[in-house]
Structure 1
Amino acid sequence: MRDIALYVVVWAGALCALKRPWIGVILWTWLSVMNPHSLTWASGGASHAMVAALATMTGLFLTKDRWSPFQSPAAMALLAFWLWTCVTLPFSFYFDDSMPLFIRSAKIYLMTFVCLALINTKHKLDWFVGILVFSLAFYGAKGGLFTILNGGNYLVWGPGGFIEGNNELALALVMTIPLIRYLQTQATQKWVRAGLWATLGLTAVTVLGTWSRGAFLAIAAMSFMMWMKGDRKMLWGFALFFIGIVALSMMPDAWWARMGTIQNYEQDASAMGRLNAWEMAWNLAKSNFFGGGFSIYEYPVFARYAPVAWDVHAAHSIYFQVLGEHGFVGLFLFLLIWFFTWKHAKTVTRLAAGVPELQWAMHLSRMLQVSLVGYFTGGAFLSLAYFDLPYDLMVASVVAMLLVKQHVAAHVQPIAQPRLWPAPPEPGRPAGPTGAPGQRQPAL
């Protein structure tokens, strides 16, 4: 039954996307982030995503309701990074293994630009943010209940795709919590706000229930940033403190022992393996201008560039992942994407300050910055450089900036410039000697 329901939703959404392609963006985002096919008995996630993508791009070419996706520095930085991965691909150490990973990232970047072209109103942007929250908060609420019922003694795992692992799911949920808060600021009904409060708390519990040390650091940094960006700091300080105390109090002793290894990382094999992989990526990038390609986590590569040859690990860091795979140029372009994304959000908060009609954009941009802090912190310990969600945050930041600038341009009256030269004579009236209409000059 669930399989039939999924097929109905996908094909109905695809048909709607032919006329209103922004609906296809919502469908694609739901499929790529939530992985709903993992909740059914049949597979077919790739085929569902392909149907949504083809219908959306067909609608994109047929509709006039679109704008250029290249209107922001963040979008141009993403395009530059994508092109650079095309340049580095032929220099891959393991070309055949790198090609499928390159195609996967290319699909994500292509659909990111499709999103930028079709999400061009506040209504569409709210749907876009809403589907992101729904796709991930579903697992947040579900995992939170699971953690409470078993006292935190069992790990919470993800559904599949990029967020299959416990660490990956935890980071995605950390990035989702600020978006839940944004929806809460927009809700007008008390029961909706109460439901979002409950979802936010359960999602925070799920993050702890994954037993992820990197996510524990990420949620701490994210919580502090959320408090800094909040309007009512006393209320939010109390709320975050209460949620944290309740959530931490239910975690078992084994969980506390695992979190305690953060301070003694030298004695933890997993932590030392990550440091070994980071040094490998650094040495590889210094020796190879174009990096080693998408697939470099093999024994021969570690034997040549890592301090410990036999300790083969994934990068476990978005920064060292990009550095090892695409070199220093790739890392620079990757960081440039997030620099401009942050700057766009900051621009929105500046332009929207004091404008009642733009308060939604200011709240959204602040929460996007909070989400990015979670990604920057947790991403330092996970290989999620090509994960969909951060690029979706970039889309939201860019679209919010463009909409705010559009509103400001439409409502701000231009300042009248002073006339520096005499006006031309009016029709039918002779001009005086100095050019002033009908003005007599005094006798000398």
Structure 2
Amino acid sequence: MSKFALLFLLIFFGGIFAALFFSSAAAFWLYQLVYLLNPDDRWWAAAIPGLPYSFVASALMLFVMMLNYRSLTSVSPWSRHPSFKWIVILLLLYVVALGYALAPNTHRIFLVNFIKLIVIFFVAYKLINDEKKLDISLWVYCIGSTYVSYLIWGTGRNASGRVEGIGFADGTDGNGVAAVLAPPLVLLLYYFWQGSKKLKLLSVFCGALIANALVLINSRGAFLAVALSAGIFTCFMIFSKWQQKGQRAAAVFVIVVSAAGALYVTDDLFWERMGTLKSFEEDEGRTSGAYRMQFWWATFDMVGDNPFGMGISGYNVLSRTYIPPEFMGDMTSRSVHSSWFQLLSDVGWPGVVVFFFLFVSLASTSRKAKKYVLSQENHNHYFKILAIECGLISYFIAATFIDRIRAEAFWWAILFVMISSNVFYLKFQEARGDMLRTKGRVIGGGSSG
């Protein structure tokens, strides 16, 4: 048995033991690792038992949640976060769309997967209910991404100058993998700044491998995602009025080191591809996202005739009807190549409106969380929340150029923002409310006596 296979089995069964006897949160950490390590598709897969690892991890999450439901709900009730209602409404729109989907079989298959994902989302929110558990979840994400980046480094580019075939259970497309790898870089930026010496070294190691993998993949969307999200975070470090000792110097140091590292790992092929950012309509070959914006605009025509959307893959069914032949090429169907237009085509304008309110509730609650921690003069928590927000921004930017509205990591990015709002703000507000209500009852009882 290979060392990787043995290590995975130790992690898997150790995670089950930890979830049952130490911390229920370990069930979600195990689920994250199974998704990121993707044991069924790795070179060491033949050396491990053919178990349904993802199903076991999911079932374990449900089991430990039910086992500890009362204590978990006392600190992480779903009703306390306003974003959950919008997530439920969005899911219901996908359920309703099954009745008129143009590709009903495809819609049914992906709807079942989406329902499973949302169930896991709800359970994970309850399990990850304090700062330490959140930190471990973020580090599991970063370390799992580092392992995938290590595989990419060992495999290298194919004859087309891209990396394909190395990814996750829900897809191995290079752009999709790059979107998953982008958010950890801004998280590692935060841990490099705020962490201990060991965490700083680990952050540099993980960041270097992930950055190298993104260069090899040559994803323009991921490049924009990392550049903008990391840029936003470092700008806040430099220009924010909430400063810690050495904060601006640390930001400048990070910028210099990142620039030097980028010059070292990038090559001519990477910069040649990034040069095409100036025009997404440039003809690079009809299999690499050519005429992408033409696909986006066609969505408006489709939804004009189908305001409630066409269901999952409905865009593909109608693409030949609505996209001019010169943009179709030899393809019988096309995908929309944008998560936002994918949402529009799946469930129409109602879906876009619901997601807009979901985003507003996310932003509003997270803003209140940052305001609260600043009122406690806890600048560390402020920048941690900001880093998690930038991780969400990073995935959203990358997802703009790929069809990933129902992807696992897309909803992880949302999940981490919601958990941070609960951990750093909502549960303290609830405790304060309970204290005031108790005080009111005491005063009321005293006066009536």
Pick from 170, 173, 198 the counterpart of residue 165 of structure 1: 173
- How much identity, in percent, do the aligned residues show? 19
Residue of 336, 358, 363 corresponding to 2:357 = 336
Q: Does 1:58 align with 2:63?
A: yes
Partner Cα distance (2:211, 2:447) in 1: 73
SS at match of 1:82: helix
* C-alpha distance in structure 1 between counterparts of 2:447 and 2:198, whole Å: 68
Structure-2 separation of matches of 1:426 and 1:98: 62
Check the 8 A contact 1:143/1:203 in 2, yes or no.
no
Kindly provide the amino acid, as one letter, of the partner of residue 96 in structure 2: V
Correspondence for 2:113: 104
Q: Choose the corresponding residue for 1:326, options 316, 337, 347.
A: 347
Name 2:295's counterpart in structure 1.
Answer: 277
Partner of 2:230: 223
Please say if 1:236 is aligned against 2:251.
yes
CA distance in 1, matches of 2:222, 2:321: 31
Give distance in 2, aligned partners of 1:27 and 1:362: 28
Give the 3 Å change call, closer, same or farther, for CA 371–44 of structure 1 in structure 2: farther
Deviation at 1:153, TM superposition (A): 10
- Tell whether the 8 Å contact from 1:34 to 1:135 is kept in structure 2 after alignment: yes
Answer yes or no: is 1:199 the counterpart of 2:222: no
Q: Which residue of 2 aligns with 1:310?
A: 328
Query: Shift of residue 203 of structure 1?
Result: 2.0
The separation in 1 between residues aligned to 2:429 and 2:135, in whole angstroms, is: 20
The aligned amino acid for 1:373 is: I
Where in structure 2 are the equivalents of 1:433-444 lying within 5 Å? none
Which moves more between the two structures, 176-185 or 369-378?
176-185
Distance 1:193 1:249 in 2: 20
Tell me if structure 2 keeps the 8 A contact 1:143–1:202: no
**Equivalences for residues 14-29 of structure 1 within 5 A:** 14-18=16-20, 20-29=23-32
Larger gyration radius, structure 1 or structure 2 = 1
Deviation at 1:214, TM superposition (A): 1.6
Match of 1:77 among 78, 81, 86: 86
Q: How far did residue 56 of structure 1 move?
A: 1.8
Which has the higher mean CA deviation after the structures are superposed, 117-126 or 242-251?
242-251
- Quote the offset at 1:407 in angstroms: 3.5
**Superimposed CA distance per residue, residues 376-412 of structure 1 (whole angstroms, 9 cap, x where no aligned partner):** 2221101111122232232222222223333366579
Counterpart for residue 436 of structure 1: none
- The one of 188, 195, 200 equivalent to 1:187 is 195
Number of aligned residue pairs: 413
Q: Partner amino acid for 1:388?
A: E
The alignment's TM-score, normalised by the length of structure 2, stands at 0.81
User: Displacement, 1:331?
Assistant: 1.8
Contact 2:163 2:216 in 1 (8 A): yes
Matches within 5 A, 1:234-273: 234-268=249-283, 269=285, 270-273=288-291
Q: Residues of 1 paired with 2:160 and 2:151: CA distance?
A: 16
Q: Contact conserved, 1:22 with 1:118, CA < 8 A, in 2?
A: yes
- Which residue number in structure 1 is paired with residue 394 of structure 2? 374
The residue type equivalent to 1:203 in the other structure is I
Instruction: Choose the corresponding residue for 1:113, options 110, 122, 128.
Output: 122
1:134 aligned onto 2:143: yes
What is the alpha-carbon root mean square deviation over aligned residues? 3.2
Shift in Å, 1:15: 4.9
* Contact 1:25 1:115 survives alignment (8 Å): yes
Under a length normalisation based on structure 1, what TM-score does the superposition of the two structures give?
Answer: 0.82
Structure 1 residues 70-125: Cα deviation after superposition (integer angstroms, max 9, x where no partner) = 32122221111111111112211011122111111111111000011222222222
Q: 1:17 to 1:245 in 2, by over 3 A?
A: closer
CA offset at residue 186 of structure 1? Answer: 5.0
Distance 1:426 1:13 in 2: 55
After superposition, give the CA deviation of every residue in 1:336-387 in whole Å (9 maximum; x if it has no partner).
333322333222211111535x444322210012112212222110111112
Inter-CA distance 244–13: structure 2 relative to 1 (3 Å threshold): same
**1:137 Cα deviation (Å)?**
2.6
* Distance in 2 separating the partners of 1:130 and 1:426: 54
Structure 1, unpaired ranges of 5+: 418-423, 428-444
Please list the CA deviations of residues 188-222 of structure 1 after superposition, one character each: whole Å capped at 9, or x if unmatched.
3x133122123223322322221112222222212
